[in-house]
Amino acid sequence: MNLEERHVNALSDVLKTGIDGWTDIVDLQPMFFKMTLELMTEFLYGHSPSQMSRKPDAPSTQEFGHHFDAGKAWVNLRMALGRWHWLVHSPAFSLHCKKVHQYVDYFVKAKLQQGSEVTETKLAPTKFATREKFVLLDELAKQTRNPLEIRGETLGVLGAGRDTTASLLTWIFYFLSRSPRTFGKLRGTILEIFGTEASSIDFLKLRSCQYLQHCINETLRMTAVVPILERESLEDTILPRGGGPDGTKPVFIPKGQRVLISTYALAQRSDIWGDHPEDFIPQRWEHRKVGLEFIPFGGGPRKCIGRKPALSPFQNHIDTDTRFLEQFALTEVSVCLSQISSRPMLSLTE
């Protein structure tokens, strides 16, 4: 938990309190995106922005964040066009891709040059750069020596883990600011279970904090990280339901057919979620067991990798399938939300 604690502390340093003990009005969204970018790059590549600033030839994480976000905007536009994506291209898009690749390649090249047995790092070691710290790049280098493969794997985890975590944190505090009673109950629950010391937070306690999980699930239901999922049928098949006047008859899906799944619309159905599905009510998750009616990260073998990480500091090996990324966004959000909510300096208003 030390990684999350340090980055939450850095965020708290920005949220200064006035003489009345309350914070000024701030926009939390860019702060969350900055925090999660720095947290994720340190997890992936092993070095924090403060460490890199002491190395003259090290790339800038802030500049990388700009090109990463701008490049994703182009990618999203091309994805929206589907088979016509080739119509959208720009020198700016190429530049953003080049800068992103240069940033990642800096770390990948240094790691591969060191060999499989790493005893020292390219950047000056600090008390945070130890062999005990889990770094995804170190584990990937044990599996492959292909720099392009390592670059692609780490960027895939970054895109899935950083955006989901930052977006989810932003939406949670948006809803909590509009529901002070819910925030009060959540904060009281967190203080009761974890206290005010971040060092007391562990994975077992996070799992036992049911109301925290209810708030996270309700936020995911209200504002799905991925509002629409797309799948393509690899062969002729039949869906058991969805056809006919009442939607209970089978549906034939031919090979090559694209199928769109609106997770947002699914989360607004009163026949599944009860009365007032448009309202933020964490209590609706009490004693609820869900299946495929709640798929904010998709389902099956192609579900979003941002949901499943091996971020536990107790793990010393990499899992090669999607189980390697189990519970990433949810774990990170739980830790950050617990630490932020337990601090007295934060006041939430609409």
% of the chain exceeding 70 in pLDDT? 77
Segment 310-333, tens digit of pLDDT: 233 222 222 323 333 334 455 556
- Count CB-CB contacts under 10 A for residue 8: 21
- Segment 60-89 mean pLDDT: 89
Q: How confident is the model at residue 107 (pLDDT cuts 50, 70, 90)?
A: very high
**What backbone phi and psi angles, to 5 degrees, belong to 195?**
75, -160
Is 236 or 39 the better-scoring residue by pLDDT? 236
Q: How confident is the model at residue 61 (pLDDT cuts 50, 70, 90)?
A: confident
**What backbone phi and psi angles, to 5 degrees, belong to 257?**
-70, 130
Asked if residue 345 has pLDDT above 50, the reply is no
Asked if residue 278 has pLDDT above 90, the reply is yes
Asked if residue 182 has pLDDT above 80, the reply is yes
Domains present along the chain, CATH in parentheses: 2-224+267-341 (1.10.630.10), 226-266 (no CATH)
Q: What distances in angstroms separate CA 252 from CA 97, 228, 258, 301, one per listed residue?
A: 40, 21, 12, 22
Q: Which two tokens stand for residue 344?
A: 């007295």
Assess contact for 296 and 196: CB atoms under 8 A: no
Segment 113-171, tens digit of pLDDT: 886 444 344 444 444 344 467 888 998 998 899 999 999 999 988 887 788 888 888 99
**Residue 227, helix vs strand vs coil:** coil
- Segment 241-248 mean pLDDT: 88
